[in-house]
Amino acid sequence: MPKNLVPLLAAAALGIAACLAAPSARAVEVRAGVLRVDYPTLLPISRYDARPEDLDFAGAVLADEDNATTGSFLGHTYKTENAAVPPEGALEALDTMLADGIRYVVVDAQAVELLALADRAAEAGALVLNASAPDVALRGAECRANLLHVAPSFAMKADAVAQFAIWKKWPRWLLVSGSNPEDRALAEAYRRAAKKFGAKIVEEREFEDTGGARRTDTGHALVQRQLPTFLQRAKDHDVLIAADATDYFAAYLPYHLWTPRPVMGSAGLRPVTMHGAHEAWGATQFQTRFEKLARRHVTEADYNTWLALRVLGEAVTRTGSDDPAEIESYILSDAFELAAFKGQKVTFRDWNGQLRQPILLYDDRITVSVSPQEGFLHQVSPLDTLGLDRPESDCTAFQ
């Protein structure tokens, strides 16, 4: 946050007033794309986690409807194209969108493809909204000036779990992580969170990915024998933190521990942006609207896509513009705010393009808690206690 906070806020307030007066009847046609990269994956551990065919796209349809309803009073129209492609087809799909005149692209892809897409989009002056990639580096050294992150980083989610553990006075953690690079990156986020909030990782164990059994072939019998022995004789701990970003073992952890302890992280109490049972802060309306459209419960991916397009819609509503540079500068300004069924406005970090948002802690049935937790304070916003704060970020693209 700049030094002269107060005058700046006052200026921002004036800015809002100016914008309020501004949205004229000027017709604006907002065209966006949702680009989903489908990677070859194994079946998930649980059938409940099967990827619906309209993943992301259902969120986009709802966002288009929401934006179009608001736009109808201002002369703004919204149209969003969808594409689901394999990794090797990602750039081509983007090129098609760009050639079609689309300058706002919501991307659900891993870091490598996301960066390639963002760089290609930059050449066309297009803005990319990251709806899934959680890599901390994308918000740091690898950040891009035309890449905004609606999805939270591993760091934000790990911090959300860590704050809850500290609030519960469960500072002694047994960290169990997977052996894939993504799992190790997530484990690193938990190590950082432990240090940041004063928890102690008393011991770490890595559960190697050997391509083990799924429950379909009576894998559960093996799991029941293997996991407790894998976890025996651990140092005294209050909670087990699971770091399994690739979803191959964490779901088996609860009830298969050696020492009975709560599980948090990739199983048990999980940090999510949204889930289908969340009702607080008017979210019931969001859920019923989504279910009416999609005939299923919302997933994080759908919510992230919806939110990305709502960010765009809100910026268009307030500025009356469809120029990507103007839209991005408004999104990153202090004037931008958006209600996202999270109980407080969501805004953007102007130093790395990350959306600030509360993280729901979900036990696969209800919202157990919401971070940031009470008592975790910050000079700018309690939301900045989650993830990379300005001084920690080595992102320079926004300077």
Pick 146 or 347: Cβ nearer another protein: 347
- Among 44, 51, 52, 70, which residue sits at the site for another protein (rule: CB under 8 A)? 70
If one asks whether residue 343 binds another protein (CB under 8 A), the answer comes out as yes
If one asks whether residue 24 binds another protein (CB under 8 A), the answer comes out as no
Pick 230 or 281: Cβ nearer another protein: 281
Residues in the interface with another protein (CB under 8 A) total 26
For the window 364-383, what string marks contact with another protein as x by the rule CB under 8 A?
-----------------xx-
If one asks whether residue 288 binds another protein (CB under 8 A), the answer comes out as yes
- Among 24, 232, 285, 396, which residue sits at the site for another protein (rule: CB under 8 A)? 285
If one asks whether residue 99 binds another protein (CB under 8 A), the answer comes out as no
- Among 345, 364, 368, 398, which residue sits at the site for another protein (rule: CB under 8 A)? 345
If one asks whether residue 255 binds another protein (CB under 8 A), the answer comes out as no
For the window 295-334, what string marks contact with another protein as x by the rule CB under 8 A?
----------------------xx----------------
Count the Cβ atoms, other than its own, within 10 Å of residue 336.
Answer: 22
- Among 220, 289, 296, 297, which residue sits at the site for another protein (rule: CB under 8 A)? 289
Minimum distance, C-beta of residue 228 to another protein, in the bound complex (Å):
41
Minimum distance, C-beta of residue 17 to another protein, in the bound complex (Å):
8
Pick 28 or 338: Cβ nearer another protein: 338
Pick 265 or 358: Cβ nearer another protein: 358
Pick 86 or 343: Cβ nearer another protein: 343
- Residues of this chain that interact with another protein (CB under 8 A) are 13, 17, 20, 23, 65-66, 69-70, 72-74, 282, 285, 288-289, 292, 317-318, 337-339, 343-345, 381-382
